[in-house]
A = this chain, B = another copy of it.
């Protein structure tokens, strides 16, 4: 049963001026042209800003690399899907019949996109201040749980330590391609670990950055 956006508003603790916006935010593209993709674009941007600003003030000693990693830990498909499940957003999604049959209401990508779209609807309907408070309320436990000690270590170091603690071999990094002019190069690196068949891929403006990104993706997967 699909529940009404009115009930969802209660659960979100908000009263929309234009509840059609919230309905759009819950509508997956499989259900038609008036869907949540534009609101997701807006919500993704406001979420990125609100979390960046929060981390900037909460961790005055953290450098840019640490702040980026902290944000990537809070804002990613898996984390957003968990928060969406916490809000039981799946019960309110409007999906096309194909996605309904395929269990789309419980798919990480659909839940995470819908949560971002809800944030977009909030910023459009209620303005940035209300939206900021709402986002920070949603993330409060996760932000409180962040410890700088963990994140001051870069992803390659954390991946290596995780593999060692499990008695597994070290990760292997392979440069897959390199392109672009000097000062504008792009490196593509694969990271493989013995416990998973599939490598993780990272891209960056230096080989080291690409390796760090691949390690980050591998950590998320493990």
Interface on A for B, CB 8 Å cutoff? 37-38, 40-42, 44-46, 48-49, 51-53, 56, 62-64, 67-68, 77, 107-109, 120, 123-124, 128, 176-177, 179-181, 183-184, 186, 188, 190, 198-201, 203, 217, 221
**A190 adjacent to B177 (CB under 8 Å):** yes
Task: Find out whether the CB atom of A52 lies under 8 angstroms from the CB atom of B56.
Answer: no
Residue pairs across A and B with Cβ atoms less than 8 A apart, 17 shown, are A41-B67, A42-B56, A44-B52, A45-B48, A45-B53, A46-B52, A56-B124, A107-B183, A109-B183, A128-B128, A176-B188, A177-B188, A179-B201, A180-B198, A180-B221, A186-B217, A188-B201
The binding surface of chain A is classed by DSSP as helix
Q: Provide the bound-state CA to CA distance between A61 and B180, in Å.
A: 34
A68 touches B49 (CB 8 A): no
* With A198-B179, A201-B179 as contacts: A64 and B40 at CB distance below 8 Å: yes
**Do A108 and B186 touch (CB < 8 A)?**
no
Q: Considering only CB atoms, which chain B residue lies closest to A45 in the complex?
A: B52
List chain B residues, Cβ under 8 A from A67. Answer: 38, 41
CA distance A128 to B108 in the complex (A): 32
Chain B proximity of A24: nearest CB distance (Å): 12
Give the complex CA separation of A181 and B14 in angstroms: 37
Pairwise interchain contact A45-B49, C-beta atoms closer than 8 A = yes
Residues of B contacting A120 in the complex (Cβ-Cβ under 8 angstroms): 56
- A68–B52 Cα gap in the complex (Å)? 20
Contacts of A188 in B (CB 8 A): 176-177, 188, 201, 203
| In contact, B38 and A42 (Cβ under 8 angstroms) | no
Q: Which B residues are in CB contact (< 8 Å) with A42?
A: 52-53, 56
